[in-house]
Amino acid sequence: MKKMLVTALLVASAILPTAAQAQAIPPAVIAVVDLEKVTGACNACKTAANALRSQVTGLQNRQQALVTPLETEGKAIQTAIDALNGKEPDAALKTRAQNWETKRNQAAQEVARQQQQIQLNNQYVQKQIADKLGPIYTQVMQRRGANIMVEQGATLASGAALDVSNDVVAALNAAMPTLQTTAAAAPAPARPKQPQGR
């Protein structure tokens, strides 16, 4: 009986490691990518970043061009109101102040629209890059024999041999020679419908 029990245990111990090996997870082979380096070094990314900076500079210049005459006109109107010493402004001054307010509102709306467009453009550029990077990550991992890829910022430390950023940059340059930097314009806000007369 003892001999039978020992034999059964030996058979069981031979079977269990085989079953455990079938469920074992392969060892991690990790690749590290520095996304900041990738987006800063890829040719199309640099060109797009320059175009977006140019758009921001253009907006700042336009904003200044709108604000300067409005400030001058606003000060002149305020000086005329102050000269009245509390008296009621005449119709011409009231009209001038109303026109100034209309121009100020129009300028603010124009700047807000352009700011929104630049934000949309930036998001559009980021989406184009992200769409290209997904398949590139897989290709680089397969080529380098990695089964995990992490962003350098998510690691505490890593060896230089694990860094595949240059591979990703090269693949991104090949896959994406250019980027579009102007997204479709945001839809204009809907105007309330006017009731129709009979």
Confirm whether 196 is domain-assigned.
no
**Domain range spanning residue 75?**
28-175
Classify residue 100: in a domain, yes or no.
yes
Whether residue 85 lies inside any domain: the answer is yes
119 domain residue, yes or no: yes
Q: pTM for the full model?
A: 0.75
In a domain? residue 11: no
pLDDT (0 to 100) of residue 6 = 46
Helix axes 43-83, 165-175, angle to 10 degrees: 80
| Signed CA dihedral, 155, 160, 165, 171: sign only | negative
Total structural domains in the chain? 1
163: phi then psi, degrees, rounded to nearest 5 = -75, 120
Residue 22: predicted pLDDT: 62
> With 0-12 CB in 10 A as exposed, 13-18 as middle and 19+ as buried, what is 121?
buried
Residue from 81, 78, 99 nearest 90 by CA: 81
Residue 94: inside a domain: yes
pLDDT at position 14 is: 56
Instruction: Read off the tokens for 60.
Output: 């700042």
* One pLDDT digit (tens) per residue for the chain, 198 residues: 555 544 545 555 555 555 555 678 888 899 999 999 999 999 999 999 999 999 999 999 999 999 999 999 999 999 999 998 888 989 999 899 999 999 999 999 999 999 999 999 999 999 999 999 999 999 999 999 999 999 998 888 888 889 999 999 999 999 999 999 999 876 665 665 656 654
Residue 58 falls within a domain, yes or no? yes
Q: What is the pLDDT of residue 189?
A: 58
In a domain, 104, yes or no: yes
